[in-house]
Structure 1
Amino acid sequence: MSRLYIYDHCPFCVRTMMVANYRQVSDLEQVILLNDDEETCHRLIGQKMVPIFEHQGVAIGESMEIAKLLDDLGAADKRLRPLQLSEAIQPLFQPVQFQSWALNFPRVTRIGLADFATESSCEYFRAKKEALLGCSFEQALADTEAHKADIERALAELPALSLPSEQGNTLSWNDVMNFPVVRSLTLVKGLRFPPRVEQWLHEVSALSGVELYFDRAI
């Protein structure tokens, strides 16, 4: 049996989860690691990084390489539609990456994910991410309204994303790249998504088997 080592909250891991689920890869165990589990990562690939794909005695740790391997191993008839540069959203979110992190990081340890099932995993994450943000989680939360306004402007400027329901209920490589970025924002209570973007989120979630966080938003 192959194993895919992941965090639920990690956008890079979500890419691989989407492909594995959509393409119905058989004999695959998805293993959610605690966020502070350095030992497993170092044992498998020599560094603290996920996702990790262990297959036929070899472990690799690059998300798109893993996603492409999982696509090749897929059993489902539905293939992923090709990438369309017109639907790439990463450049539009780059200017608000800090705001996205500031909304996500203080909340993600508080919604019951297996990645953060222990106090030590939560504190490990806090220390790393507060250093990245340059402020405390408390300060990031206090600035929520300003960050939300910036993110909502970015969401309003997204290109018209193809709905799976308009494409024979299929996913594309654009969905694989775009969904993890926007999914992480669904844990922010009261954040306004354009109606088409929200519909796209729900459709991609249903086809990929990756849950959204709307019901746990903080």
Structure 2
Amino acid sequence: MKLYIYDHCPFCVRARMIFGLKKIAVEEIVLLDSDIDTPTRMIGRKMLPILQKEDGNYLPESMDIVHYIDKLNEPRYAGGEVSAEIDAWFKAVSKTVSKLVTPRFVETDFPEVSTAEAKKAYLTRVAKSYGDLTVLYKETHTLLIELEPQMQLLDIWLENRNDNFDLNDFIIFPILRSLSIVDELSFSTNVNNYMVRVAKATGVNLLFEQAK
């Protein structure tokens, strides 16, 4: 099987997580952000992740990939429903997190923006939503203040759960992995330990070394 991804993409992280947890081999292929033709040929539009299954068919949508791989063998990790608390948390933090990480992603050595053309494609795309990224970068302090109460809620939620993986982790960890690129953000011991544990179990690296 082949998994087409962007390294920075939290939705792609979801798909990568299930392969790591299940210990199922997959070839990860990182596309350039400027590559429109490849995903369009596969599924009719530019969107990742995309899984090329063993039969050659293509499966998009991160959680569809998670559920497909989860059903291949035991143990299962993605059954049930996302908790109401985590669903509300995700909705509350998503916009703030995007504003924090988007201007930082383009400053890294992610392979999807490794060429001038790919970096230009990324900047053009995100500018439609966020405008000038240098201006957005200057909002870091305000955005961190917005994020703080939600990180406190997550800290409490994690403290009251066991270490078994479930569907909630596919919502929580990709967000935290993205946030690990924000140099000015300090994580609580509880949250940091969670991040390290999931990264080790899934084989998906954190971004502390690239933090800006």
TM-score by length of 2: 0.90
2: distance between equivalents of 1:102 and 1:5? 25
List per-residue Cα deviations over 1:155-197 (Å, max 9, x = no partner): 1122422699x53xx4222112211112111100020222211
Output the amino acid matched with 1:143: E
2: distance between equivalents of 1:94 and 1:187? 20
Output the amino acid matched with 1:73: L
| Pair 1:88–1:208, CA change in 2 (3 A) | farther
The question of 1:138 aligning with 2:134 is answered yes
1: distance between equivalents of 2:29 and 2:206? 19
Output the amino acid matched with 1:11: P
Partner of 2:123: 126
| Pair 1:68–1:93, CA change in 2 (3 A) | closer
2: distance between equivalents of 1:47 and 1:7? 15
Task: State, as a whole percentage, how many aligned pairs show the same letter.
Answer: 30
The question of 1:190 aligning with 2:177 is answered no
| Pair 1:73–1:30, CA change in 2 (3 A) | farther
- Which of 207, 210, 217 matches 2:204? 210
Counting matched residue pairs gives 210
Query: Is the 8 Å Cα contact of residues 5 and 50 (structure 2) preserved in structure 1?
Result: yes
The question of 1:155 aligning with 2:151 is answered yes
List per-residue Cα deviations over 1:18-72 (Å, max 9, x = no partner): 001110113x211111111111001111110111111112112111111111122
1: distance between equivalents of 2:117 and 2:95? 25
Output the amino acid matched with 1:183: R
2: distance between equivalents of 1:190 and 1:144? 8
Q: How far did residue 81 of structure 1 move? A: 6.5
Secondary structure at the aligned position of 2:3 is classed as strand
1: distance between equivalents of 2:160 and 2:49? 27
Query: Is the 8 Å Cα contact of residues 10 and 178 (structure 2) preserved in structure 1?
Result: yes
| Pair 1:123–1:163, CA change in 2 (3 A) | farther
Q: How far did residue 141 of structure 1 move? A: 0.8
- Which of 95, 99, 103 matches 2:100? 103
Q: How far did residue 209 of structure 1 move? A: 0.5
| Pair 1:99–1:67, CA change in 2 (3 A) | same
Output the amino acid matched with 2:173: F
Output the amino acid matched with 1:46: G
2: distance between equivalents of 1:209 and 1:173? 17
Q: What is the RMSD computed on CA atoms of the aligned residues? A: 2.1
1: distance between equivalents of 2:160 and 2:195? 9
Gaps of 5+ in 2: none
Query: Is the 8 Å Cα contact of residues 163 and 200 (structure 1) preserved in structure 2?
Result: no
Residues 40-189 of structure 1 mapped to structure 2, 5 A cutoff: 40-55=38-53, 56-74=55-73, 78-80=75-77, 82-83=79-80, 85-86=82-83, 88-133=85-130, 135-158=131-154, 159-161=156-158, 166-167=162-163, 170-189=164-183
Q: How far did residue 78 of structure 1 move? A: 4.3
| Pair 1:97–1:194, CA change in 2 (3 A) | same
